[in-house]
Amino acid sequence: MGEIKVMREDLRPPAPPPRRHFISITDVARDDLERLMATARTFERSLDREVKKLPTLKGRLVINMFYESSTRTSSSFELAAKRLSADTMSIKASGSSVDKGESLKDTAITLGAYDPDVIVIRHPQIGAPQLVARATEAHVVNAGDGKHQHPTQALLDLYAIRQELGRIEGLHVAIVGDVLHSRVARSLAQALIVMGARVTLVGPPALLPRGIEAMGCEATTDIDTIGAADIVYVLRMQRERMQEGANYVPSLREYTARWGVTPERLRPGQKVMHPGPMNRGVEIDPRVADDADALIEAQVRAGLVTRMAVLYDLLVGAPAPVPVGDPVGVA
């Protein structure tokens, strides 16, 4: 019996494509964001129908691991999976083995034993999604890791901007508030820059991380600069992340007086966005939040279809789909 000593390069089985994740905006290119938005748009049309469920991900399993509290993100991921007919499971830190001190890696291996197709994870620590990706065979979606990244929030914000203003390239977006502690600010700024928008970060000096301009944006403490922007994106003042005695700002009262987004600091026609949940009267004046120029509801609507697009993109892949049962346009 002859042994095959050498396998010729062209006889080797093709390597499987690398397992894809959606963990950081820095991993994706403009084309990827455009494709995801196009997919989201087709799903948005499908949601206008009477029966909103699509069979696309039937038999697939999506596990949501939420180690931090969340309303919008967890509910929209769950609904996105259900609208695509996937099975879903939700694990929360409280009431699970995490309470008993189980490590993230062990929890991930345990859940990995169910062969999930996608694991959506939110975790208070940077890099938790990468750890889950190493420990399981699932596609991993980052639903927020510490102060690092929240890429689906950035995607839904891009989508909402494109829907409402018709374009992203060339827009000037001011992101205002606690940039230091904000994963939303980081991932959105990166996504906007990739899409060709101009980004200015505005906030108190200690809440603008030193060196942040290297991402390709501007940074200033001067709130009056927001008047020049097309969109003012207001960040939540994350009180739960404020360390005792850290003195990032002397008081919330002083923060609001100096950096709160009020009608007086805006000019007519400027669009205002906020990732929620809002602290009305702290970072955003209630009159601004309820104004017709606020895109806050559009952001929430965009959350569902963009997360459907992310799940679809990871499991079914490019190119953008023709939704099942949708009449194909004939010229």
Partner 1 sequence: MLYAKSAPMENLVVRGARVLDPAQGVDAVMDVRVDDGVVAALGAALDTNSHRVIEGQGLVLAPAFVDPHVHLRTPGREDEETIASGTAAAAAGGYCAILAMPNTDPVVDSAATLGSLVETARAEAEVPVGFLAAITKGQAGGELTEMAELAGAGAVGFSDDGMPVASPGLMRRALQYRSVTGRRIALHCEETTLSRGGHMHEGAVSAELGFGGYPSVAESLMVERDLALAAYEEQPLHLLHLSAWESVQAVRRAQQAGVAVTAEVTPHHLCRTDEAIRSLDPNLKMNPPLRGESDRTALIEGLKDGVIGAIATDHAPHARHEKEVPFEAAPFGVTGLETAFSALYTHLVAPGLVPLATILERMTAGPARAYGLDEPRIAVGAPANLVLLDLKASWRVTEDVFRSRSVNSWLLGETVKGRVRATVAAGRLAYSA
Binding site for partner 1 (CB under 8 A): 103-105, 123, 125-128, 130-131, 145-149, 183, 186, 209-215, 243, 246
Q: Is 100 a catalytic residue?
A: yes
**Closest C-alpha to 159, from 296, 19, 303:** 303
User: Which pair of tokens denotes residue 99?
Assistant: 């309470």
Q: Is 253 a catalytic residue?
A: no
3-state secondary structure (DSSP) of residue 130: helix
> Cα separation of 208 and 289, whole Å?
24
Closest CB to partner 1 among residues 127, 276: 127
Closest CB to partner 1 among residues 93, 128: 128
The active-site residue, picked from 5, 8, 12, 100, is: 100
> Cα separation of 316 and 26, whole Å?
22
The active-site residue, picked from 150, 181, 236, 274, is: 150
3-state secondary structure (DSSP) of residue 33: helix
The active-site residue, picked from 60, 122, 148, 307, is: 122
Q: Is the peptide bond before 319 cis (omega within 30 degrees of 0)?
A: yes
Q: Is 72 a catalytic residue?
A: yes
Least distance in angstroms from the C-beta of 211 to partner 1 = 4
Least distance in angstroms from the C-beta of 205 to partner 1 = 13
3-state secondary structure (DSSP) of residue 238: coil
The active-site residue, picked from 39, 56, 73, 152, is: 73
The CA dihedral of 157, 159, 161, 163, to the nearest 10 degrees, is -150
The active-site residue, picked from 20, 41, 72, 82, is: 72
> Cα separation of 175 and 239, whole Å?
18
Write the CA distances from 271 to 14, 281, 324, 327, integer angstroms: 49, 18, 35, 35
Least distance in angstroms from the C-beta of 213 to partner 1 = 8
Least distance in angstroms from the C-beta of 220 to partner 1 = 15
Question: How many beta carbons lie within 10 A of that of residue 215, not counting itself?
Answer: 15
Least distance in angstroms from the C-beta of 83 to partner 1 = 31
Closest CB to partner 1 among residues 193, 315: 193
Exposure letters 159-197 (e unless 16+ CB within 10 A, then b): bbbbbeeeebeebbbbbbbbbbbbbbbbbbbbbbbbbeb
Least distance in angstroms from the C-beta of 147 to partner 1 = 3
Question: How many beta carbons lie within 10 A of that of residue 291, not counting itself?
Answer: 15
Closest CB to partner 1 among residues 56, 153: 153
> Cα separation of 72 and 134, whole Å?
27
Closest CB to partner 1 among residues 183, 274: 183
Closest CB to partner 1 among residues 113, 214: 214
User: Which pair of tokens denotes residue 211?
Assistant: 């060196």
Closest CB to partner 1 among residues 149, 256: 149
Least distance in angstroms from the C-beta of 234 to partner 1 = 19
For the chain, what's the residue count? Answer: 331
Report the catalytic residues. 72-73, 100, 122, 150
